[in-house]
Structure formats: C-alpha cells, structure tokens
Amino acid sequence: MFSYETLKKILFLFDPEKAHHIAECGLKTVGSCKILKSYMEKKNYINDEKLHQEIFGLKFENPVGLAAGFDKNATMIKAMKSMGFGFTEIGTMTPMPQDGNPKPRMFRYPEQKSVQNAMGFNNLGSHAVLKNLKKVYPFSIPIGVNIGKNKNTPEEFALSDYKSLIKKFEKYNDYLVINISSPNTPNLRDLQNEKFISELFTMAKTLTSKPILLKIAPDMEANQAIELCKTAISNGAAGIIATNTTIDYSLVPNCKDFGGLSGACLTQKSSKLFKEIARELFGKAILISVGGISNGKQAYERIKDGASLVQVYSGLVFEGPSMVRKINQEILELLKEDGFETVSEAIGANLR
C-alpha cells in the first residue's frame, strides 16, 4: 500500500481541481467496494462511547465531520465512514446546475498548509444531487445538506432559491445549512444582514421540521457576527457553523486576490471568532466549529470553547485519510488527561 506522503507527491503533480477529481474517483471506488470499504472503516473509524453524542435527536458516534465543499454532488457519501467521519455535509448545491467561476480557481500553498478556492458553487444542480442523495439516505452517519443561491439569481429573489431547496431536500437530510457566507458568489455575503436572515429562517421553519443551521464568514467584526447569529437563533436556527473561508489575503504571502483561503492560515482567525460567538451563544444553540482544524489538539480546544461538533476539509489535502482517525484518537487522550469521562463533559469547559 502507498503511504499518503507518496500518494500526495503524485496528486500534487496535478492541478488541485484535477487532483480533487482523482480523489473523488478513488472514494467512489471505496464506497462501491464492500471489502475495501470495510477494511478502511475498521482502520479509520473510531467508535468509542466516550465520543458518542445525541444532537438534533441524531446519534453522532464521533464529533469530527466533513465540511461542505468537498462532496458537492453527494457522490462520495458511501466512503465517508471509511474515512473516519462521524458525520458528513454535502454541497453547497444550488437550484439550477452551474459551472462555477472560470478556471483555474483552486490553488495550493504547501508551505502554509493552506488552500485558496474560487469555485463559485459549481454543482450539478438540485435535481441531480437529490437523485444521488436518494440512493444512500438515510445513511449510517448523519448527513447535512448545505444550500445556496444560484449566481444569476438577483438578491431580491434569493429567498425563492432557498425556499425551493428546503422543500426539495426536506425528506432527505438530517440537518440543513444555509450558506450565505461564501466569498465566491458575487454579493452573496451581502445577505449576511439581520433583515434577510430573519425572513429566511422564519420562512424556513414553515417548510421543515429538520434542524436548520447558519454558516457565517470569518471576516466580519465579532459584534456583527454575534448579532446575526442571535437573529438567526431567535427566528428558528438550531445551530451556527463558524466559519467559512476568509478573504483576508494577508494570511498567505503572494496568494491570489480572489476566492477564499482555508487550511492552517485560517486556524487563528476562525478560532478567535468562534470563541467570541460561543461566549454569547453557548447553550442557546448547537455550535459547530470549522476552519483550520487538522489535529486533535485544535479540535479539542474548539470543543472546550463550546463546539459540540467540528468539521475539517483542507487539512485532508495535506494530512491524508488517516487525519480523522488521529484527531479522534487525540481527543480521547486529551479527555483522559483532563479527567473527562465523555466528550459531552468537555464541551464548553473553557466557558465554565
């Protein structure tokens, strides 16, 4: 078997988007091969009662999930447990298919262990994604569905895009995520205002009983982020996901001046905003932390800061498929060091 370091050298010979397609083909193969899937699941999936939680009435056997953006079209779900994930999130998908932004639109920065993407919600559209999702839902781990508006939908009609997606996926998700924080759809972040969020969640609650979460950007002031989150929660949001990618281009030398940065460069910025949000909102909604998490110590700190769950994505590019297993193993070791019997006991420990 190749080590990931060897495989990474091969993958890094390709354009990042091409490498992602190769990884997708590999994971689709894993998902369709029972022997391979079983082998990888035994190797990577940590099922320890100390990590079990019940959230939204669902069982999460470990707190590490795949963030949106990796499995845009719901083609890799069958392999996610084999990768070690306790839950997965598909999307972002839009009502109509869209190609996304012009290529090249994804860039690696190996020295900073960071990635920059300007994909622009490229996806097959809600009809095709739903068709893929129906083949696997319900699954052995929870599945979140991340939704966004089409690029060509004017701001004044954005609500109708979200409405159609919520109705379409209502029966085929364990939780929904409203994405108005991607930097890659023109003017999308303008929807991060209290009026739109209030209207959106009020409307959404009339369409579904499933938990609906808001995903926010890391680039706003903490006070503004907190007020937006409060507005979402008061209008029915079950949780907050913080944060999306950043447009703070000072974090990576000589990076592009478009798209969103993620990976290690985002760790500090995302962690700082998450702490601010958690100080105000812990206990009032489920909080999920994402952004620059690639090891157990980082994940555990977010948990102690108030995160019930964490998500990863860019770290996989540099650390490989064993990353999730290592994170969960490290969380178990850190729980033991701190004298906690379960991960639930550790959630919000830094706030007490």
Question: Is the bond leading into 211 cis (omega within 30 degrees of zero)?
Answer: no
Q: Determine if residue 120 is labeled as part of a ligand binding site.
A: yes
Q: Determine if residue 68 is labeled as part of a ligand binding site.
A: yes
Determine the Cα–Cα distance for residues 15 and 288; give it in Å rounded to an integer: 31
Q: Determine if residue 184 is labeled as part of a ligand binding site.
A: yes
The single residue of 82, 114, 126, 182 carrying the catalytic annotation is 182
Angle, CA 232 vertex, CA 229 and CA 233 arms, to 5° = 85
Q: Determine if residue 167 is labeled as part of a ligand binding site.
A: no
Q: Which amino acid is at 180?
A: I
Question: Is the bond leading into 321 cis (omega within 30 degrees of zero)?
Answer: no
Q: Determine if residue 117 is labeled as part of a ligand binding site.
A: yes
| Phi, psi angles (nearest 5°) of residue 303 | -65, -45
Total residue length of the chain: 352
Q: Determine if residue 72 is labeled as part of a ligand binding site.
A: yes
Coil, helix or strand for 337? helix
Q: Determine if residue 119 is labeled as part of a ligand binding site.
A: yes
Is 182 one of the annotated active-site residues of the chain?
yes
Q: Determine if residue 69 is labeled as part of a ligand binding site.
A: yes
Give 331's contacts (C-beta < 8 A, 6+ positions apart).
51, 63, 296, 299, 300, 303, 343
Q: Determine if residue 244 is labeled as part of a ligand binding site.
A: yes
Q: Determine if residue 249 is labeled as part of a ligand binding site.
A: no
First to last CA, the chain: 46
Residues flagged as binding site for substrate: 72, 117-121, 179, 184, 244-245
Residues flagged as binding site for FMN: 68-72, 92, 146, 179, 215, 243, 263, 292, 313-314
Residues flagged as binding site: 68-72, 92, 117-121, 146, 179, 184, 215, 243-245, 263, 292, 313-314
Catalytic residue numbers read 182
